[in-house]
Amino acid sequence: MLLTINIGNTNILCGAFEGESLARAERFPLSDRSRLDVFLNSYPQAESVLAAGVNPEVSESVVESASGALRCPALLAGRDFRVPVRNRTTCPEKVGIDRLLNALAAHERVKKSCVVIDIGTAVTIDAVAGNGDFLGGAIMPGPGTALSALHSNTALLPETSLPREIPVLGTDTQGAMSSGVFWGTVGAIEKISEMLRRETAGAVTFLTGGGAERFAPHLSGIDHLIPALVLEGLRLAWLMSDRKRGRQAGK
C-alpha cells in the first residue's frame, strides 16, 4: 500500500495505490486539513507516503503530518527523490513539480509525444516530446480564479460560481460571467492544445485535474481522461528513483 498526496493552491488530492492500481482518490479543500488526517489514518498498513506540492511551506507541513500519523517513510518529491524528466524550458527551476509529474505519467503510458491539460486553480497546457522531455506550454487562470478576479477587480460584477448548466447566452450578469469564463476556457484550451499538437507531431492528449470531468464533454481531441494523473506521476517518480538507488547500491 502506497499513499500519494498532491498539494495544490486550492485543494489537496490524495490517493492510495495497491500495486500499480489507484484504489482510491479523494480531493478536498486545502483549508480542511482534518480530512487529510482521516485519509492517512485509514491506511495504518501503508508502506510509504509520497507528497508533492507547489507551495513549499504547506508541502513540508503535510509531510510532517504524514510522518506523525503513520509509522512509515514520508517523502517529498524534489527533496527526497527526483522527478526523472528532462526539463527543456529556459528556467527549469521555476516549473511547478505537478507539471513534471503529469508529463512523466502521460509519457510512461503512451511512450510518445503528449499534450497534458490540467484544469485546476490554474489551467496548464503542456507539451511533452516523444522521448519524454518536458518542453513547456501555457498557463492561464482556472475557472474559479477567473470568476474571482472579475469580482475583485471590478466595481459591479458580483461574486459567483459556475452553475451546473451554462448556456452561451447569459441573460443576466452572473450568467454572462459564467458563460464567458466557462466557454472562454473551453475555447482557449481547444485552440492552445491544437497548436501544441501541431508542434509535437500529433501528440496524444491527456486531460486531468479537479475540473477535468466537468470540462471533458465539451472538449474535442481528448484521448485520455485521467483526473488523478499527477498521483500516477508521483508513484512512478518514486519507483524509478528507488530502482536507481538499488542499482547504485549493487555496484
Domains along the sequence of the chain with CATH:
2-80 (3.30.420.40), 92-233 (3.30.420.40)
Q: Give me the pLDDT at residue 239, please.
A: 94
* CA 132 to each of CA 15, 39, 72, 200, 231: distance values in angstroms, whole numbers, following the listed order: 24, 33, 31, 12, 18
pLDDT confidence band for 243 (50 / 70 / 90):
low
Question: What is the pTM for the complete model shown?
Answer: 0.93
Which of these is catalytic: 32, 80, 98, 172?
Answer: 98
pLDDT at residue number 247: 45
Residue 98 falls in the annotated catalytic set: yes
The DSSP H or E segment spanning 6 is strand 2-7
- Res. 202 pLDDT band, cuts 50 70 90: confident
5-31 pLDDT, tens digit per residue, is: 999 989 999 999 999 999 999 999 988
Residue 129 has pLDDT above 50, yes or no: yes
Q: 42-95, pLDDT tens digit by residue?
A: 999 999 999 999 888 888 888 888 888 888 889 999 999 999 999 999 999 999
